[in-house]
């Protein structure tokens, strides 16, 4: 994972977890008491295994409900069933922890992560912005608010006359709303993965359709990617510059690649790259292949050049 | 071949409802403890489980079940293990244990038939366009499974004096003791294409929680122009 040195500034992750980790679930917390034993002492053998299993997984604390036919195959209480470690249990912390009773206990792992930061990632698909910190309005994609607390105004943000002309001509236009006032706004869209990227005077290029929200203090402009031989004429991208945060959304978990002399990406799947990297269109011209038909479908690629430290973000989804 | 897949075997049963991964719920069925689940949500079962598509007792109430998408219930009874899922949505399992919860109809996957439940209409929203927002209030001793498009977030409502406003499309569930009111942030500008995309919100005040999903159902309920 190259995220350590290539992300511009990894944002405030609650709990200092890597961005791909789910933010909920508190894997370090001791598992709450098992089902049906809210106040009873721990079940026999609780805590015996040297390698603790994921909380609650394969830990038969309470006897199965009567009438369930496979009861005889269940291992003795307190023992780990002899199965291979579950692949999803190794990575995901959201295995069903033995939960206490009640709504509050069941929903504990989905609690809001509270920090005093302006931008806080709540989980991999939700971002909270606190408008009180910094006091600047936030521009967000229209309709991306899912919840807010406090006194927040949502207003239309037009691109302006010139912006509409440029947006129409290049396809890099955003339907924005301005969130101003005082309070917290939760932003999400269509269950896409969100990645707040903090800019401290540097710049990043993002495809406009992958921008969810950004601080109004950031300047953005449409840039053209140099190249020739593209059927549509040219490729364009939105460049953000200044001090502030831009939230990028990707369909699925993205890959962040460092820019090397041989870094290529499909122009439909690449989402963002650091603006110091230079993007060049490298169309693969194969006379024979094109003449015979049977194209590979990978004709327009982007090649990236830049000093070490630059990165590109690619999503597993081609628009 | 079996070794790579062995990790996905179900865990031994420890409770009435358990998560299998993020997106599936495993229910330990037993005779006399029936389950009401959304029609078509069963993906697998072991043992002897029978399904009644529309039991007469439910039908009277289900007549009022207006969720926009139409999500009728089926009654599952028998002995065995039942696996439910809903198109890859995250499943959240709650042991109510005497608490109560109001759930948006489209986000309810299954619940014990022994719970008290009823369809109610959200007060204060009746004046909004066309359909109101309908929800299911469940309470009692038993288990409930909700679905969420993406990992949900739970927000405390009673923090500070400010109310909490939610996009109705993203709302999953809330505490029934909260006061609900509708809010329209509607301006004349919306009619000429200068809207903010957020026409209606639901405001919650009081002590309790609100559960929200990071995705907005694409149905155009409660939205006149975006």
Q: What is the pLDDT of residues A10-63, one digit of tens each?
A: 444 444 444 444 444 444 444 444 444 444 444 444 444 444 444 444 444 444
| Angstrom distance (rounded) from CA A274 to CA A202 | 8
In sequence order, what are the beta bridge partners of A123? A126
Q: Touching check for A78 and chain B: CB below 8 Å?
A: no
Distance CA A262, CA A265 (A): 10
pLDDT-based confidence at A298, cuts 50/70/90?
low
pLDDT in tens, B116-171: 988 776 655 544 443 446 678 899 999 999 999 888 999 888 665 678 888 888 88
* Average pLDDT value for chain A: 70
Contact A190 B215 (CB under 8 A): yes
CA distance B185 to B187: 7
The arithmetic mean of pLDDT across residues A217-233, rounded, is: 72
Q: Which residues of B touch A146 (CB under 8 A)?
A: 166-167, 170, 212-214, 216
**B14-212, superfamily in CATH?**
Mitochondrial biogenesis AIM24 (3.60.160.10)
Query: Is the minimum CB–CB distance between A68 and chain B shorter than 8 Å?
Result: yes
Exposure on the CB side of residue A161, measured as CA atoms within 13 A: 0
Out of A265-269, A302-306, B2-6, B163-167, pick the least confident: B2-6
Is residue A76's pLDDT more than 80?
no
The confidence score (pLDDT) of residue A45 equals: 41
For residue B67, count CB atoms less than 10 angstroms from its CB and return exposed for 0-12, middle for 13-18, buried for 19 or more. Answer: buried
CA trace torsion A254, A258, A260, A266 (10° rounding): 20
Q: What is the DSSP string of B145-189?
A: EEEESS--EEEES-SSS--EEE-GGGEEEE-TTSEEEEEE---GG
- CA of A216 to nearest chain B CA: how many angstroms apart? 16
Q: Which of B14, B79, B198 sits opposite A69 (nearest CB)?
A: B79
First to last CA, chain A: 24
A:9-28 residues touching chain B, CB 8 A cutoff: 22, 24
Rounded CA-CA distance A139/A156 in Å is: 10
- pLDDT value at residue B55: 58
pLDDT-based confidence at residue A215 (cuts at 50, 70, 90): very high
Please tell me which residue, A76 or B167, carries the higher pLDDT value: B167
- The beta-carbon neighbor of B8 closest among A86, A94, A154 is A86
Can you give the pLDDT at residue A292?
A: 55
Smallest Cα–Cα separation from B24: which of B113, B84, B107, B100? B84
Tell me whether A252 touches chain B (CB under 8 Å).
no
Give the C-alpha separation, B106 to B69, whole Å: 7
pLDDT of residue A55: 43
Q: What percent of chain A has pLDDT over 70?
A: 60
CB contact under 8 A, B152 and A186: no
Name the residue among A143, A217, A220 with its Cα closest to residue A185.
A143
CB contact under 8 A, B22 and A92: yes
The whole-number pLDDT of residue A299 equals: 61
Q: How far is CA A5 from CA A14, A46, A197, A258, in A?
A: 19, 41, 14, 9
Of B95, B149, B167, the CB nearest to A102: B95
Among the ranges given (A192-206, A253-267, B17-31), the one the predictor scored with the smallest mean pLDDT: A253-267
CB contact under 8 A, B153 and A148: no
> Alpha-carbon distance A114 to A126, whole Å?
13
A249 pLDDT band (50/70/90 cuts)? very high
Q: Which fold has domain A113-314?
A: Double-stranded beta-helix (3.60.160)
Does the beta-carbon distance from B214 to A149 stay under 8 Å? no
Averaged pLDDT for residues A201-212: 90
pLDDT of residue A248: 92
pLDDT < 50 stretches in chain B: 63, 66-70, 126-132, 219-226
Report CA-CA distances (Å) from A266 to A48, A257, A273: 51, 13, 13
Q: What does the pLDDT average to over A284-298?
A: 56
Calpha distance A93→B2 (Å, rounded): 24
CA distances from A274 to A139, A197, A200 (A): 21, 11, 12
Higher pLDDT, A149 or B133: A149
User: H or E element: which one contains A104?
Assistant: helix A103-106
Q: Do A126 and B210 touch (CB under 8 A)?
A: no
pLDDT at A61: 44
Confidence grade of residue A154 (pLDDT, cut at 50, 70, 90):
confident
Write the DSSP string, B114-142: TSEEEEEEPTT-TTSSSS--EEEEEESSS
**Which residue would you say has higher pLDDT here, A269 or B123?**
A269
Residue A232, chain B, CB below 8 Å: the answer is no
The pLDDT assigned to A89 comes to 38
Q: Which residues contact A50 (CB under 8 A, 6 or more apart)?
A: none
What size, in residues, is chain A? 319
CA end-to-end distance (rounded Å), chain B: 51
* Set of chain A residues whose Cβ sits within 8 Å of the Cβ of B163: 149
Q: What is the model's pLDDT at position A62?
A: 45
Q: Measured between CB atoms, does B79 come within 8 Å of chain A? A: yes
A119 touching chain B per CB within 8 A: no
> What CA–CA distance (Å, rounded) separates B130 from B223?
10
Q: How far is CA B224 from CA A201, B129, B190, B198, in A?
A: 41, 8, 9, 10
Q: Using the beta-carbon criterion (under 8 Å), do B12 and A69 form an inter-chain contact?
A: no
A89 in reach of chain B (CB within 8 A)? yes
Q: In this model, does residue A77 exceed pLDDT 50?
A: no
The answer on pLDDT for A265 being more than 80 is yes
Supply the pLDDT for residue A195: 92
State residue B11 phi and psi, 5-degree precision: -75, 155
Rounded distance, CA A111 to CA B210, Å?
10
Q: What is the mean pLDDT of residues A105-122?
A: 83
Model pLDDT, residue A207? 87
ipTM (interface pTM)? 0.77
Please tell me the least confidently modeled range out of A122-126, A163-167, A252-256, B196-200. Answer: B196-200
Question: Which neighbouring-strand residues pair with B4?
Answer: none
Q: Are A106 and B94 in contact (CB under 8 A)?
A: yes
Q: What does the pLDDT read at residue A240?
A: 92
Q: Identify any residues that bridge with B95 across adjacent strands, giving them in sequence order.
A: B143
User: How many H helices and E strands in chain A?
Assistant: 5, 15
Spell out the domain ranges in chain A. 113-314
Which chain A residues touch B82 with a CB distance below 8 Å? none
Determine the Cα–Cα distance for residues B76 and B122; give it in Å rounded to an integer. 28
| A35:B14 CB<8 A | yes
- Partner residue facing A151 (CB), from B16, B18, B162: B162
């Amino acid at each position: 994972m190259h995220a350590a040195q290539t992300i511009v500034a990894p944002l405030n992750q609650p709990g200092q977890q890597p961005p791909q980790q789910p933010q909920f679930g508190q894997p370090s917390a001791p598992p709450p008491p098992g089902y049906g034993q809210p106040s009873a002492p721990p079940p026999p053998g609780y805590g015996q295994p040297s390698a603790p299993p994921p909380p609650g997984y394969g830990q038969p604390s309470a006897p199965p409900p009567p009438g369930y036919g496979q009861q005889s195959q269940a291992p003795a209480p307190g023992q780990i069933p002899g199965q291979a470690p579950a692949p999803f249990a190794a990575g995901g912390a959201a295995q069903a922890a033995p939960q206490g009773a009640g709504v509050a206990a069941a929903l504990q792992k989905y609690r809001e992560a509270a920090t005093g930061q302006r931008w806080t990632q709540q989980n991999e698909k939700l971002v909270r912005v606190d408008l009180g910190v910094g006091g600047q309005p936030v521009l967000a994609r229209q309709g991306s608010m899912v919840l807010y607390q406090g006194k927040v105004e949502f207003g239309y943000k037009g691109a302006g006359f010139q912006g509409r002309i440029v947006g129409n001509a290049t396809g890099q236009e955003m339907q924005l709303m301005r969130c101003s006032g005082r309070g917290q706004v939760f932003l999400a869209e269509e269950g896409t993965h969100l990645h707040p990227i903090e800019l401290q005077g540097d710049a990043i290029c993002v495809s406009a359709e992958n921008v969810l929200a950004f601080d109004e203090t950031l300047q953005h402009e449409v840039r053209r990617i140099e190249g020739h031989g593209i059927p549509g004429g040219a490729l364009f991208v939105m460049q953000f510059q200044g001090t502030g945060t831009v939230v990028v959304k990707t369909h699925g978990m993205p890959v962040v690649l460092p820019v090397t002399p041989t870094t290529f990406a499909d122009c439909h799947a690449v989402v963002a790259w650091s603006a110091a990297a230079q993007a060049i269109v490298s169309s693969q011209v194969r006379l024979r292949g094109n003449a015979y038909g049977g194209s590979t479908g990978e004709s327009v690629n982007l090649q990236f050049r830049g000093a070490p430290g630059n990165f590109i973000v690619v999503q597993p989804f081609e628009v | 071949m079996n070794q790579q897949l062995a990790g996905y075997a179900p865990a031994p049963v420890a409770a009435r409802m358990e998560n299998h991964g993020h997106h599936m719920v495993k229910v330990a069925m037993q005779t006399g403890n029936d389950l009401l689940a959304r029609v078509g949500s069963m993906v697998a079962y072991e043992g002897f489980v029978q399904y009644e598509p529309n039991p007469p007792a439910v039908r009277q109430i289900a007549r009022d079940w207006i969720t926009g998408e139409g999500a009728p219930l089926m009654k599952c009874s028998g002995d065995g293990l039942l696996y439910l899922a809903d198109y890859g949505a995250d499943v959240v399992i709650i042991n109510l244990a005497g608490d109560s919860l109001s759930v948006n109809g489209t986000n309810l996957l299954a619940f014990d038939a022994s719970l008290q439940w009823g369809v109610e209409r959200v007060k204060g929203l009746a004046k909004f366009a066309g359909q109101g927002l309908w929800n299911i209030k469940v309470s009692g001793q038993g288990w409930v499974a909700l679905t969420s498009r993406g990992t949900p977030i739970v927000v405390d409502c009673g923090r500070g004096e400010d109310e909490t406003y939610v996009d109705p499309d993203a709302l999953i569930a809330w505490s029934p003791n909260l006061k609900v009111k509708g809010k329209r942030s509607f301006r004349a500008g919306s009619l000429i294409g200068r809207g903010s995309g957020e026409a209606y919100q639901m405001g919650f005040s009081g002590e309790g929680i609100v559960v929200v999903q990071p995705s907005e159902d694409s149905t155009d309920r409660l939205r006149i122009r975006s």
